[in-house]
Amino acid sequence: MARTGRPKASIPLSDADRAELERCAARTRSARRLAFRAKIILASASGASDVAVARRVRASANTVGCWRKRFVQKGIDGLFDEPRPGAPRTIDDAAVEQVVVATLERTPKGATHWSTRAMAKHQGLSHTTVGRIWRAFGLRPHRSETFTISRDPRLIEKVRDIVGLYMSPPEHALILCVDEKSQIQALNRTQPVLPMRIGEVERRPHDYDRHGTTTLFAALDVATGNVLGKCYPRHRATEFLDFLRAIEANMPTDVEIHVVLDNYATHKTPAVHRWLAKRPRPPALHPDPCVLAQPGRTLVRPAHAAPAAPRRAHQRGRAQAGDHGLHRREQRGADTLPVDQERR
């Protein structure tokens, strides 16, 4: 009589159990151990021996037998790790709730916010325990931020208008975002910088000479990311008009230009309006009224502006008329700056 060995317990799998095991077996990155054990059970359920399954999953036969036995006794729950041994909890859920509620609803006497040590003294816990509770719930009492609510009743209408200009501009249109950075200090170290050498870091003197201030005017092409920049010694309507002329000289002639800028008074002087009225192809300025999404940058153009052409997919006229793009280096000393230098 042939030797059959120790009989193995059968592993009948329902459709739900098989689907769950296949889902666990697919988690080879997020739950590698669970996926390995699920593959063992799926292979064993097909009727293969422990040796054959061990060869397939590259494990020992004892390992296969161990997880087969765990699955027969406890089902899929038996494939998960049991709780690790360790010290029992000393902080129950009620104590955690008291710390969270006190942090959110009360403030310490004579202070504006809780610190870990003040809360620990108030709750009778250690400051490290309070810190762990705060990190677990994302509580940071020492930090605060500001926000602004617009009082403009037509805010939604304006936001939709300018977002539509950015997301789906008119056909053959060029969207420029113009801003100024004033009071840029021109500084120079009093002594040359000593370069880094072996065993020594780079060294520079602590003092510097001031060489006045300058103002950077920049226009960002939203579609391409190119920046047209020019520096001026002062920040007036005269300089702004000169920068508008630089924009006009560097832009293609067959596209509609939209300039989005902030609500600075320099942009709305009579001289600017007269210059725009005389242009055969004036750029559409959107300075007033506006809502600042970040300092010095408007995202809303005027609600009374004339409706634009039907907005379709963004198409440029550069391919037909040649590339007269924003990166051209020519008239009036206008230079192209990298995007990361826009606010330097």
Could you give the CA distance from residue 43 to residue 37 in angstroms, rounded to a whole number? Answer: 10
pLDDT of residue 75: 87
pLDDT at 286 over 50: yes
Q: How confident is the model at residue 321 (pLDDT cuts 50, 70, 90)?
A: very low
Q: How confident is the model at residue 104 (pLDDT cuts 50, 70, 90)?
A: very high
Report the pLDDT averaged over residues 244-258.
85
pLDDT of residue 194: 92
Exposed, middle or buried by CB within 10 Å (0-12, 13-18, 19+), for 222? middle
pLDDT of residue 6: 64
Could you give the CA distance from residue 287 to residue 336 in angstroms, rounded to a whole number? Answer: 24
Q: pLDDT tens digit string along 50-86?
A: 899 999 989 998 999 899 888 888 888 888 887 777 7
Q: How confident is the model at residue 107 (pLDDT cuts 50, 70, 90)?
A: very high
24-28, 107-111, 296-300: least confident range: 296-300
pLDDT at 316 over 90: no
Could you give the CA distance from residue 244 to residue 230 in angstroms, rounded to a whole number? Answer: 11
pLDDT of residue 285: 65
Assigned token pair, 313:
């997919």
| Residue of higher predicted confidence among 271 and 336 | 271
Q: How confident is the model at residue 301 (pLDDT cuts 50, 70, 90)?
A: very low
Q: pLDDT tens digit string along 190-231?
A: 999 999 999 999 999 999 898 889 999 999 887 888 899 999
Share of the chain above pLDDT 90, in %: 28
Cα atoms found within 13 Å of the Cα of residue 124, Cβ hemisphere only? 4
pLDDT of residue 331: 37
Q: How confident is the model at residue 5 (pLDDT cuts 50, 70, 90)?
A: low
Please, are residues 246 and 257 in contact by the beta-carbon 8 Å criterion? no
Q: pLDDT tens digit string along 109-158?
A: 999 999 999 999 999 999 999 999 999 999 999 999 998 888 878 788 87
Q: Please name which of 150, 145, 146, 144 lies closest in space to residue 292, comparing C-alpha atoms.
A: 150
pLDDT of residue 284: 64
The strand pair at 297-298 and 256-260 is best described as unpaired
Q: How confident is the model at residue 340 (pLDDT cuts 50, 70, 90)?
A: very low
